Structure 1
Amino acid sequence: MWQRLREDEWPPLRELLGGRIRGCAWSLLLIPCTWAVFLPVVLGYPLARSARRSARRIFPSRGHRRIEDPEVMRVQKTRAWLATLMSVVILVAYGKPEDMAQAEEQFMFRLIVTPWLLLLSTPVVVAMLFRWASPAAKDSMRVRLRAAGRSAVRYIGAFTAVPLLSLGAYGVQQVAGPDAAGWTAIALMVPMLWAALFVVFATGPAVRSAFNTAAVHAALPALLTGVLVWEFAVIGLVMGGPPPGPPLVQACSLLGGPASVTAVVWWEVQRLRTRYGVALRG
Structure 2
Amino acid sequence: MSIDEPSPAGRSLYGGTRTLGDPPRPYTPLWRRLREDEWPPLGEVLRGRREQVSSWVVLVLLLPCFWWLTVPLLVGYQLARTARRIARQVFPVRPRGQVEDPVVLRVQRVRAWLALTISVLLLAVYGGWEDVAEAPGQFLQRVLFAPWLALLSATVAVALLFCVARSGTRRAMRTQLWPAGRSALWYFGAWTLVPLLFTAAADGMGLLSGNTNVLLWASVMFVCWAPFWWVIFFLGFASGPALRHAFNLSALNAALPALVTSVLVWVFAFLSLSTGGLPPGPVPIAVCAFLGGPVSVTAVAWWEVHRLRRWHGVRWRG
TM-score scaled by structure 2?
Answer: 0.80
- Residue 49, structure 1, aligned to residue 67, structure 2: no
The offset of 1:185, in angstroms, is 6.0
Read off the aligned partner of 2:170 and give its amino acid letter. K
Is contact 1:169-1:184 (8 Å) kept? no
Match of 1:249 in 2: 285
CA deviations on 1:116-147 (whole Å, 9 max, x unpaired) are 21111111111101111122222222222100
CA distance in 2, matches of 1:41, 1:85: 35
Match of 1:225 in 2: 261
CA distance in 1, matches of 2:221, 2:62: 30
CA distance in 2, matches of 1:193, 1:75: 35
Larger Rg, first or second structure (1 or 2): 2
1:132 aligned residue (157, 161, 164): 164
CA distance in 2, matches of 1:64, 1:88: 36
CA deviations on 1:65-99 (whole Å, 9 max, x unpaired) are 71111111122222222222222222222222212
Match of 1:150 in 2: 182
Read off the aligned partner of 2:110 and give its amino acid letter. T
Match of 1:281 in 2: 317
2:92 aligned residue (60, 70, 74): 60
Match of 1:192 in 2: 228
Match of 2:70 in 1: 38
1:79 aligned residue (111, 118, 121): 111
CA distance in 1, matches of 2:120, 2:204: 49
Is contact 2:79-2:230 (8 Å) kept? yes
Cα gap change, 1:38 to 1:269, in 2 (>3 Å): same
Is contact 2:97-2:251 (8 Å) kept? yes
Match of 1:207 in 2: 243
CA deviations on 1:225-281 (whole Å, 9 max, x unpaired) are 111111111011111111122221122111122122222222221211111111113
CA distance in 1, matches of 2:123, 2:227: 43
Number of aligned positions between the proteins = 281
CA distance in 1, matches of 2:234, 2:259: 27
Segments of 5+ residues of structure 1 without an aligned counterpart are: none
Match of 2:199 in 1: 167
Cα gap change, 1:91 to 1:187, in 2 (>3 Å): closer
CA distance in 1, matches of 2:207, 2:62: 39
Match of 1:15 in 2: 44
CA distance in 1, matches of 2:121, 2:79: 43
What secondary structure does 1:3 align onto?
A: helix
Is contact 1:226-1:262 (8 Å) kept? yes
- Residue 261, structure 1, aligned to residue 297, structure 2: yes
Percent of matched pairs sharing the same residue: 50
Cα gap change, 1:272 to 1:29, in 2 (>3 Å): closer
CA distance in 1, matches of 2:136, 2:115: 16
What secondary structure does 2:243 align onto?
A: helix
CA distance in 1, matches of 2:97, 2:120: 30
Match of 1:6 in 2: 35
CA distance in 1, matches of 2:75, 2:222: 13
1:118 aligned residue (150, 158, 176): 150
- Bigger relative CO (Cα 8 Å, ≥ 6 apart): 1
Read off the aligned partner of 2:42 and give its amino acid letter. L
Read off the aligned partner of 1:158 and give its amino acid letter. A
CA deviations on 1:133-189 (whole Å, 9 max, x unpaired) are 12222222222210011111112222222322332344456679968x956664343
